Structure 1
Amino acid sequence: MNLEILTPESKIFSGEVYGVQLPGISGSFELLEKHAPMVSALKNGKLKILKDKNATASYDIQSGFVEVLNNKVTVLVEGAKEL
């Protein structure tokens, strides 16, 4: 699936990934390929990108939203810093 992480200042990440773990308002959750369409609010916390079964990347994010539609995940956050 395709993942984009955007802040008001810049595009933090864009590319094909295996999955992504996100800090939702009601708790952490994971999105994998062909996930049903959804929109969810995010709180401050750790976002983990699963690039494939072995490689990952992590970001400390500020609050925002995630949208899933047609196997594309768009994460809109106030700020993000790579860990």
Structure 2
Amino acid sequence: MTLEILTPDKTVYEGEVISVTVPGTSGSFEVLKNHAPIISTLEDGNVIIRTSAKDEQVMYIKGGVIEAYHNKVVVLAEGLG
């Protein structure tokens, strides 16, 4: 699936991933391939990007929104920490 992480200034991340974990308002959750469509608000916290079983990146965001639809995930972050 594809992931885009955007801030008001720039595109922070764009690429293929196997999963992404985000800090949802009601607790963190993971989005995997073929996830049901979702739109959710995000709190300040870590976004964990997994591009393979052994490779992961961690990025701290300052709140925002996530949308997942048809294996495309877009995170609109208010800023980076």
* TM-score (ref. length: structure 1): 0.95
- Distance in 1 (CA, whole Å) between partners of 2:17 and 2:80 is 18
Following superposition, the deviation at residue 47 of structure 1 comes to: 0.6
Q: In the alignment, which residue of structure 2 is the partner of 1:29?
A: 29
Give the alignment's TM-score, normalised by structure 2.
0.97
User: Structure 1 stretches of 5 or more lacking a match?
Assistant: none
Aligned to 1:4: 4
- Residues in 2 aligned to 1:68 and 1:6: alpha-carbon distance in whole angstroms: 14
Shift of 1:80: 2.0
Q: Secondary structure at the match of 2:14?
A: strand
Q: Which amino acid aligns with 2:75?
A: V
SS at match of 1:80: coil
Matches within 5 A, 1:1-83: 1-81=1-81
Task: Note the alpha carbon deviations across 1:33-78, whole angstroms, 9 max, x for none.
Answer: 0101110000000110011111000001001000001110000011
Query: What RMSD in Å do the two structures reach over aligned CA positions?
Result: 0.7
Asked whether the equivalents of residues 12 and 80 of structure 1 are also in contact (C-alpha less than 8 Å), the reply is no
Equivalences, count? 81
